[in-house]
Amino acid sequence: MAKQFDDIKRVKVGATVVAPIAPQSAPVSRLFANPFAKENGTVAPKPFSETVREIKPGFFVPRAALPQRLENETAKKTGETRTPPPARSSQDYFSSLSSHSVHVARANFSANGAPPARMILSGNAKNGTASKSGQRSQRPLNIPLSLPSAPQRSFPSVTFFSVLVIIILLSGVFFGMNYFASARITLTPRQETVSVSGTFTAERDEQSGAELLFETMSVPGEVSSEIPADDERAVDERATGTIVIYNNYSATPQRLIKNTRFATTDGKIFRAKDSVVVPGTTTENGKTVPGSVEAMAVADEPGEKYNIGLSDFTIPGFKGEPRYDKFYARSKTEMAGGFSGTKRFPSDARVAEARATLRAELSEKMAKSAEAQRPAGYVLFPGATRTVLADDASITVDGSSATITERGVISGAIFKSDDLFSSILQKSLATFDGGEVDIPDLKNLTFVFTEDPSFEANSISFSLSGSARTIWRVDTAGLARAIAGKPKKEFDEVLAAFANIRRAEASVSPFWLFDFPKDPARINIELVLE
């Protein structure tokens, strides 16, 4: 502890004066008064009787016990055994001390309020009294002031845990930034505009060995429109329906001619709209099963009385023959549509106008529908299609309005994209090396059949003309895998292995990383077209 006070000035009592303060002029009370107390009466000095803070904050020594404490400390250092003096009050101690020459030197207190290192009293070594003659004592009493210091406040655990938390947080941030690191690569692929002009032949059969193959697709469609029924006409309409004709006569098929009569039980006659062949009987599990066929039946006369429900029919032409009871028919649907009288119809002019509009609309609709239904990886040129519309439109009258319906089918030849692109570039680009390319504006080329196509044929011929931009494909997934985990300085070296890249730029986030992310999924590649 003595080392802690090496820079502290000492205090002596006796002939040697260290400080210019006269002993008699300094009251004893001021020796132990608070040096920071105000003397103007605002804050009074502390009385002797109080226990005051003497050396350091937190360390208290009773004033009355101070001499004894000093003497005990000296005895410990010199090894002497001293008899403790009789107990004295603080007043007695300071009364005896008042006759001595007391000189106090100001110590240089440290920032934390440390006391002077030593207090030296000059006097009789045994009884502690000063020499009355005023001469210097032969054996001055040198009592080191070695008082226990206040416990040092330290916070090792708090500091350790604070540093640990900071390290963990910084490590978490660093790990998170690296774990969620990403990269962005923008690249421009190889591009070229070519002029296309040539004739091509495509085969249907894959076994033909042709470089270009084709397939066909068909899409039906219909559109309807409502128009006013602004005309009246006398109408005689016959009821129609579907019947099933049975042959339970023989195993030999039986042909029935057009207009064969079928009679209901109440004598209403219907006729077969077309000729039919009724199959013969068959045997299943030892039982005879009659042959059957469906046919359209039309009422023999117009009128609503032929609008009947499900019925059984005989064939009057077989009456009197064995087959009369073995050949018969039954309704599959009701007979309906019979009418005789005046009905409202749209005029011929309205029908013609409506049909022209509907047919144009139907052609456009089917073309869009065919493009939407085109298989992935195939090309369908607008000129590679044929549209067939029905000759007659369906007209249904309901009161003062009529619904007109147009129907049709669109058929077209489709080609595999890669095969077609390769065929075009082989004819149009002398430097074509067989790489994978795309032609995004392929529809700008004009497609024309060189002959009237038959989509049922095994081969078709056509011509293509125009200008098209070709873009070489880049294996972006392969590039991401190749660059993953590599240092940024090796970026150009990796790009050299991808011949279809014209130029590229890369950036890594966060910016302080020197390597690309190890996960290829965190590398975003964007194609930029010129």
Provide the token pair at 524.
């975003």
Instruction: Kindly report, residue by residue over 125-141, the tens digit of the pLDDT.
Output: 444 444 444 444 444 44
- Is the CA virtual torsion 415, 419, 425, 426 positive or negative? negative
- Domain end, chosen from 324, 341, 358, is at 341
> How many domains does the chain fold into?
4
Cα 422 to Cα 437: distance, rounded to the nearest angstrom: 8
Q: Cis bond leading into 510, ω under 30°?
A: yes
Do the domain assignments include residue 298? yes
What are the residue ranges in the chain where pLDDT is below 70? 1-158, 161, 169-179
Q: 171 lies in a domain? A: no
Buried b (16+ CB within 10 A) or exposed e, 284-312: eeeeeebbebebebbbbebeeebbbeebe
**376 token code pair:** 């992935």
| Residue 426 included in any domain | yes
Residue 161 located in a structural domain: no
> Same domain for 206 and 147?
no
Cβ partners under 8 Å of residue 231, min gap 6: 344, 345, 346, 347
- Report yes or no on 18 lying in a domain: yes
Nearest to 227 by CA among 402, 405, 406: 402
Residues 324, 360: one domain? no
Cα gap 270→153, rounded to integer Å: 120
Check whether residue 6 and residue 147 sit in a common domain: yes
Question: 464 with 317, same domain?
Answer: no
- 445 vs 449: CA distance, rounded Å: 13
- Do 366 and 322 sit in the same domain of this protein? no
Q: Which domain holds residue 186?
A: 181-191+473-527
**55 is a domain residue:** yes
Rounded-to-integer distance, Cα 430 and Cα 36, Å: 103
Do 408 and 497 lie in a common domain?
no
- With respect to residue 404, please indicate whether it lies within any of the assigned structural domains: yes
- 160: in domain: no
Long-range residue pairs from 59-65, CB within 8 A, at least 24 positions apart, any chain: 59/147, 59/148, 59/149, 59/150, 61/147, 63/32, 63/90, 64/88, 64/89, 64/90, 64/93
Residues 266 and 138 placed together within one structural domain of the fold: no
Same domain for 357 and 240 = no
Is the separation of the CB atoms in 49 and 91 below 8 Å?
no
Instruction: Match 């075009």 to its residue by tokens.
Output: 424
Q: Are residues 100 and 1 in the same domain?
A: yes
Q: Which of 423, 447, 470 is the last residue of a domain?
A: 470
Query: How far apart, in Å, do the first and last CA atoms of the chain sit?
Result: 83
What's the confidence (pLDDT) of residue 131?
43
User: ∠306-311-313 over CA atoms, to 5°?
Assistant: 95
- Shared domain for 241 and 104, answered yes or no, is no
Q: How far apart are CA 201 and CA 203, in angstroms?
A: 7
Yes or no: say if 354 and 319 are a contact pair by the CB < 8 Å rule.
no
Domain termination site, one of 279, 314, 341: 341
Same-domain pairing of 1 and 81: yes
Q: What is the pLDDT of residue 312?
A: 95
pLDDT tens-digit map of 66-122: 555 555 655 555 555 555 555 554 455 444 444 444 444 344 444 444 444 444 444
Are residues 459 and 404 located together in one domain of the fold? yes
Q: How far apart are CA 173 and CA 507, in angstroms?
A: 20
User: Would you state the pLDDT for residue 158?
Assistant: 64
